[in-house]
Amino acid sequence: MTTALVAPFRFFSLQVVRTRRLGPSLVRVTFGGDELRDFHSDGCDQSLSLFLPHPGQSEPVVPLELDEGWSQAWRELPEEVRAVMRSYTLRALRRDPDEIDIDFVLHTPAGPASTWAARAVPGDRARVLGPAVADNRSIRFRPPADADLVVMWGDDSAVPAATAALESLPAGTRARVWLEVPDAGDIQDVATDADAEITWIVRNDGAAPAVPTTPADALASTAAPASTAVDAVRASGLPAAERPYVWIAGESGQVKALRRYFVGECGIDRRRVTFVGYWRRGMTEEQVRAAGE
């Protein structure tokens, strides 16, 4: 008997099914497509590469006919022709029908992905390089089984992953969470069975006062005035725990500072700290990729 090997990642053709504004700065785009029947993910912070068309194009231009050579050929295409590629996290995967949700942050001034998402209508086409294997290396949120506290911090780019993770936590799990958004209208109710305390931090012209909320399912939240991510966390403090697990995601500079705080000041084992830089202040995604090559 032979066993067929499945590549962990592949391209999926997508069509917009619907859009929904979550707040002044956030829009959720729901995608469908027959190929999504082979899309599988068991992760809460599943990373994806999304390919979008330029204005005037009916679909994103990616030379898929070249198989493994698509990436180099795509890079060699004129910038105004090749598909716009951006990294996102999966917000939700559903069956019957097969659909995925991706949440977009709407920036000012708007970048190409933000512009596309703000104007997206049903039928618009896109592609995603995503998982065909449910447990894959692009899933980072993995609390150890012995964790007695889950600590999370994320900015607006990480809110989709963070809220998905919160929804997945088993009943009774203690969680301390800080989420940063551009506008108070972007604060969301999070349905979770976890014993979660959430502080929403709203950026107001460079300031970051913490905003108390009373979300669904009796989630607690406390106000902690702060101007930076580390200040907000330090001001609130961490509950006592013997085996905490920490997940930090968002802007690279903030993520690095928070990792130093949790490991250096709080004494948390660095092996129990997951940190992911989704973007870098002052740099486009193209510049970040070029710097890493």
Domains contained in the chain, CATH given = 9-131 (2.40.30.10), 149-279 (3.40.50.80)
Instruction: Say what the pTM is.
Output: 0.86
> What is the pLDDT of the chain when averaged over all its residues?
87
* The predicted structure's pLDDT at residue 206: 45
Which residue shows structure tokens 């809110």? 159
Helices 229-236 and 252-260 cross at an angle (nearest 10°) of 30
Confidence band for 204, pLDDT divided at 50, 70 and 90: low
* The predicted structure's pLDDT at residue 279: 81
Q: What is the pLDDT of residues 34-83, one digit of tens each?
A: 999 999 999 999 999 999 999 999 999 999 988 888 999 999 999 999 99
Cβ atoms of 51 and 28 within 8 Å: the answer is: no
Better-scored residue on pLDDT, 133 or 111: 133
Peptide bond into 24 cis (omega under 30): no
* The predicted structure's pLDDT at residue 160: 96
Percentage with pLDDT > 70 across the chain: 85
* The predicted structure's pLDDT at residue 207: 42
Q: What is the pLDDT of residues 134-176, one digit of tens each?
A: 999 999 999 999 999 999 999 999 999 999 999 999 999 999 9
* The predicted structure's pLDDT at residue 292: 52
- Say yes or no to pLDDT of 272 above 60: yes
Among 133, 141, 196, CA closest to 165: 141
Separation CA 149–CA 247 (nearest Å):
11
Lowest-confidence segment of 4-18, 94-108, 242-256 by average pLDDT: 4-18
| For residues 29-37, average pLDDT | 98
Q: From the CB of residue 273, how many other CB atoms can be counted at a distance below 10 Å?
A: 18
| For residues 218-244, average pLDDT | 68
Over the range 42-75, which residues count as b (16 or more CB within 10 Å of their CB) and which as e? ebbbbbbebbbbeeeeebbbbbeeeeeeeeeebe
| For residues 240-252, average pLDDT | 95
